[in-house]
Chains A and B, each alone.
Chain A
Amino acid sequence: MPSPTVPEFSKSVKLKYVKLGYQYLVNHILTFLLVPVTLSIALQLIHSSPNDLLALWNSLHFDLVQVACSLFLIVYIATFYFLSRPRTIYLVDYACFKPPCSLRVPFATCLEHGRIILSSQPKAIQFQMRILERSGLGEETALPPAIHYLPPEPNMAAAREEAEMVIFSAMDSLLKKTGLKPKDIDILIVNCSLFSPTPSLSAMVVNKYKLRSNIKSFNLAGMGCSAGLISIDLARDLLQGHPNSNAVIVSTEILTPNCYMGNERSMLLPNCLFRMGGAAILLSNRWSDRKQAKYRLVHVVRTHKGAEDKAYRCVQQEEDPEGHVGISLSIDLMAIAADALKSNITTIGPLVLPASEQLLFLFSLLQRKIFKKKSKAYVPDFKQAFEHFCIHAGGRAVIDELQKNLQLSAEHVEASRMTLHRFGNTSSSSLWYEMSYIEAKGRMKRGDRIWQIAFGSGFKCNSAVWKCNKTIKAPIDDGPWVDCIERYPVYIPDVVKL
């Protein structure tokens, strides 16, 4: 690559330093204002003698009652302020389900089964092969046992077995990691979009672990891949009202009942991308957990575009002309996702962006709206607000789109891409596999801010912002990446030769 000519180079360097200077100035404006004021007061104090100060004090004519009342007022205001602050929600720890290697689905097996099952539809077979080649998935993703059969055997018993395998494994892992006793769980939220039996999956957890009879249990179904963050939001709101409590959230997607057996193209895509996965998360508002907790919840922002018909219908579960039930994805899914993301960013931006970026965004907005200048909307630089990004591994296209829109580097989206490669699209739990990847790589330091973005049917875009509470040292000795993290990151070609 030819080195830039001297004027260009000096210009780019100058620009870089100008930018840095501007950011530093705006973000620390209060410091810059306060420092001279404090300095001048200090100088005054040094120059005046103690007698002068005493004379100043006496001239104010304070008496005991006034002093006492003002002190009381100050204490009252301070107490009111501290009490009305929202409780800090800590994420003590979380555990992800690691599928056994006997459930793995290599590409060749996927193709072979596809040919046998869809033997009368060569076009559908070709379509599936093309999707697999470009999907960004690896050869270690897992499907539940019932779907390995020729033909697949999706019945309710098998779905329950898969649920038990995934949820109990993640819960056992979580209980072991945190030392939590099942009887100490105050709130339980289970989210699983496509499988909702009676009794519910949360009842299944209560039964297996013999949870308390006064537990607050919830089961969220039908809310899509963004349901994990909806559960976090619900837990947060509940923990505001219940002091000294903890909440366990189980996020999963049960695939057994949802294997699409038809050949509509718009419905074949989920078959190729969705894979087994699940995560269990422990949240707490207890003061005693503040030292050992891994993360602190800073913000949760939820955006729902369901009011628009196009967004509402873009991910639709329905029957195809032959009566097979599947999830149909509309062709403008990406555009709707980008739109939902923009809405979400508009809300989350002011909460997380440093003042420098907000000012720039304001200027650009003013330019476009008031001065009617035809310039592109300024996309704030979110890399200044966050150290890590966990983008829901919904598919290669989603990650590519977000990387482009948010101007992220390859390293920022590495966790998402590698999760998609190793585990596939595990729906609401994929964010937790991505967090686990970042931890396993030893990149999670105390004070780091993480942005989790999830999309889901409806159409919803939900974000959560976490702050790392303690540095997590690699190598970690458990977790879903423990035996393969050295192999990552891998190069994922655009098209895999099958």
Chain B
Amino acid sequence: MVSSDEQPLVHDIRLSTVGPGRVTGQDVVHEPTNMDQAMKLHYLRGVYYFKSQAVQGLTTSKIKESIFTWLNNFYHTCGGFRRAESGRPYIKCNDCGARFIEAQCVKTLDEWLQLEKDDDGSLRRMLVSNQVVGPELFFSPLVLLQITWFKCGGMSVGLSWAHVLGDAFSAADFMNSLGQVMAGHQLAQPLKLAQSHISAKISPSPPKSKDPLSVKRVGPVGDHWIAANNSKMKAFSFNLTSTQISHFHTKVCGQIGTNQIPFFECLCAVIWKVVAKIRDGPEPKMVTISKNDPHGRKNGILSNGQLISIVKADFSIMEANPKELAELVLNQAMDERSTIVEAVERDQGLSDLIVYGANLTFVDLEEADFYGLELKAQKPAYVGYTIDGVGDGGVVLLLPGPKDGPHNGGKVVTLIMPEDQVLKLKFELKKEFSIA
């Protein structure tokens, strides 16, 4: 997007590579688990915005030096994928590195955030890379970092993260440890991940031959890890203040009291109804829910430990009571993780699946510590995340809002939906959340 002057909004783009400062060594490999392989066609794109006070005195070369120390702990994110003889992909930890992008922006941070409010998501795209793994598997970086400097001295950090490395909670931990390294703290050495144990824990039952409902088979995509969509997907967000949240919550669940349904489930119910209303064709009777599983992750280890469950409704969604629907989502979600793992195991890791967007998917990222990335002991002014490689079912993300200032307690709802549904969705959702 070009502003009225000749210079594009984001310019002076320079690419380089960063990697671990220590030599990882020969023949070190990292084998993604079956759950990781199931998520390989998805990509997280996160942008962290920092005010100029948080980054005063910071230069790109200082950041790069910290990154080299930081990546010593995460050397497998700096490797490249290879295929074993069976065709199953694994990461060769050859220190190939993560891509590092530097850019300058002609606007100040506040001007930019203001522009983003009225934008359809393409502005934020300029602050983070949209590269995917492939078509050359060997030399595709799995992590891409973009540092964009704003005219006022503020900065944004854009993380492009291959979901095969870990879920959003892991990505948040990954980024937060960068803040710790930059503050001069030593990172504890992460425990060595015992791959086989985790997948064994989730699948005690004998293998079923049925495919999980929460995934859709696509492809084959070969070495280019992005699935084709029938329609172009667009992302848009709502920032919700705490007042709006409690208003909405009361509207759906009744008075605040005991046995209250959490906000996320209420949100799912309402948006499910709205989507059912505006979509052509049959209404979606199944939704996928993705939440954090606190038992599934060990500190410091990146993994795809998120809970993935399916909710089936056997009544009409459009006519359903939101509260009943929310209760259904809360209580009747069926954990599909073992089924997914078995499906991938059956195909020996060669299957190409999408999870987000196979059905209408709701992802609860409230507990993700996105605001934990602190520079000079200051939290980001704002953090936005989106997902690429989403299927036509669409994805709804619930993200935590900024922790400081007037927006404390707020949340962010980001929707990634087919282009033709976006306008109608925006209209309906503005009504639901009483947004002007």
- Which A positions have Cβ atoms within 8 angstroms of B? 100-102, 104, 106-109, 111-113, 115, 138-140, 145, 148-150, 153, 497-498
- State which of A100, A111, A149 has its C-beta within 8 Å of the C-beta of B16: A149
Mask, B78-109, CB within 8 Å of A = 1, is 00100000000000001111000000000000
Kindly list the 8 A-B residue pairs having the minimum CB-CB distance in the complex, ordered from nearest: A101-B21, A108-B96, A106-B95, A108-B94, A102-B68, A150-B15, A112-B139, A148-B16
B357 contacts the other chain (Cβ, under 8 Å)?
Answer: no
Within 8 Å of chain A (Cβ to Cβ): is B19? Answer: yes
Cα–Cα distance between A150 and B26 once the two chains are bound (Å):
26
Q: Which residues of A contact B16 (CB under 8 A)?
A: 148-150
Closest residue of chain A to B80 (Cβ to Cβ) is A108
Q: Roughly how many angstroms separate A100 CA and B150 CA in the complex, as a whole number? A: 28
Please pick, from A101, A109, A140, the residue contacting B17 in the complex, using a CB distance under 8 A: A109
- In the complex the two chains form, is B14's CB within 8 Å of A109's CB? no
The reply to whether A109 and B23 contact each other, CB–CB distance below 8 Å, is: no
Bound form: Cα–Cα A102–B80 in Å:
19
How many residues of B are counted as interface, with CB atoms below 8 angstroms from the partner's CB atoms?
23
Known pairs A108-B94, A109-B17, A112-B97; list 16 more (Cβ under 8 Å). A100-B65, A102-B61, A102-B67, A106-B97, A108-B80, A108-B96, A109-B19, A109-B95, A109-B96, A112-B80, A112-B139, A138-B23, A139-B23, A140-B23, A149-B16, A153-B14
**What residues of chain B lie closer than 8 Å to A115, measured between beta carbons?**
136, 139
Given contacts A101-B68, A102-B65, contact A108 B23 (CB under 8 A): no
- Known contacts A100-B65, A138-B23; A108 and B15 CB within 8 A of each other: no
On chain A, the residues within 8 Å of B139 by CB distance are: 111-112, 115
In the complex, which residues of chain B have a beta carbon less than 8 angstroms from the beta carbon of A104? 19, 21, 68
Question: Could you tell me which residues of chain B, from 8 to 47, have a CB within 8 Å of some CB in chain A?
Answer: 14-19, 21-23, 26
Q: Which residues of A contact B69 (CB under 8 A)?
A: 101
Q: Which residues of B contact A108 (CB under 8 A)?
A: 80, 94-97
Nearest B residue to A140, CB-CB = B23
Whole-angstrom distance between the alpha carbons of A153 and B21 in the complex?
A: 22
B64 contacts chain A at the CB level, 8 A cutoff: yes
Q: Point out which of B67, B69, B96 has the most chain A C-beta atoms below 10 A from its C-beta.
A: B96
CB-based contact B17/A113 at 8 Å? yes
Q: In whole angstroms, how far apart are the Cα atoms of A150 and B96 in the complex?
A: 14
The docked-state distance in angstroms from the alpha carbon of A111 to that of B21 is 18
Write out the residue numbers on chain B whose beta carbons fall within 8 Å of the beta carbon of A145: 61
What 0/1 readout, one digit per residue, does chain B (356-386) give for beta carbons within 8 Å of chain A? Answer: 0000000000000000000000000000000
Whether the pair A109, B97 counts as a contact (CB closer than 8 A) is yes
Question: Which of B17, B23, B65, B67 is close to A112, meaning CB atoms less than 8 Å apart?
Answer: B17
* CB nearest to B61 among chain A residues: A145
Least distance between B103 CB and chain A CB atoms (Å): 13
CA distance A352 to B166 in the complex (A): 65
CA distance A497 to B25 in the complex (A): 12
* Minimum distance in angstroms from A227 CB to a CB of chain B: 29
List residues of chain B with CB within 8 A of the CB of A113. 17
Q: Please indicate the chain B residues that have their CB under 8 angstroms from the CB of A111 in the complex.
A: 139
Q: In the complex, what residues of B have CB within 8 A of residue A138's CB?
A: 23
| A109 / chain B contacts, CB cutoff of 8 Å | 17, 19, 95-97
Check A106–B14 contact: CB distance below 8 A: no
B residues less than 8 Å from A139 (CB atoms): 23, 95
- Known: A101-B21, A112-B139, A148-B16. Is A106-B96 also a contact (CB below 8 A)? yes
Q: State how many angstroms separate the Cβ of B102 from the closest Cβ of chain A.
A: 9
What is the bound-complex CA distance between A106 and B94, given in angstroms? Answer: 8
On whether the beta carbons of A112 and B96 are closer than 8 Å, the reply is yes
How close is B187's CB to chain A, nearest CB, in angstroms?
Answer: 15
Cβ-neighbour of A107 out of B22, B94, B136 (below 8 A): B94
Give the distance to chain A from B40, nearest Cβ to Cβ, in Å: 20
B21 touches A102 (CB 8 A): yes
The complex places the Cα of A273 from the Cα of B96 at a distance, in Å, of: 19
Min CB gap B146→A, angstroms: 14
Pairwise interchain contact B14-A149, C-beta atoms closer than 8 A: yes
- In chain B, what residue has the closest Cβ to A111? B139
Residue of B nearest to A138 (CB): B23
Taking CB atoms, residues of chain B closer than 8 Å to A102 are 18, 21, 61, 64-65, 67-68
In Å, the complex CA distance between A140 and B22 comes to: 8
Measured CB to CB, the closest approach of chain B to A138, in angstroms, equals: 7
Contact A106 B19 (CB under 8 A): yes
CA distance A102 to B71 in the complex (A): 11
Complex Cα–Cα for A112 and B18 (A): 12
User: What are 14 contact pairs spanning A and B, CB under 8 A?
Assistant: A101-B68, A102-B61, A104-B68, A106-B19, A106-B23, A109-B19, A111-B139, A112-B17, A112-B96, A113-B17, A115-B139, A149-B14, A149-B16, A150-B15
Closest to A497 in B: B26
B23-A148 in contact (CB<8A): no
Bound-state CA distance A104–B14 (Å) is: 18
A148 surroundings in chain B (CB, below 8 A): 16-17
CB distance from A150 to the nearest CB of B (A): 4
A102 to B98, CA, bound (A): 13
Q: How far is the CB of A117 from chain B (nearest CB, A)?
A: 11
Q: In whole Å, how far is B80's beta carbon from the nearest beta carbon of chain A? A: 7
Chain A residues in 8 Å Cβ range of B94 = 106-108, 498
Question: Complex: how many Å from CA A138 to CA B95?
Answer: 13
- Of B65, B95, B136, most buried by chain A (CB within 10 Å of CB) is B95
CB distance from B29 to the nearest CB of A (A): 13
On chain A, the residues within 8 Å of B18 by CB distance are 102
Does B15 lie within 8 Å of A149, measured CB to CB?
Answer: yes
How far is A497 from B92 in the complex, measured between Cα atoms in Å? Answer: 12
Nearest B residue to A114, CB-CB: B139
In the bound complex, CA of A145 to CA of B100 (Å): 13
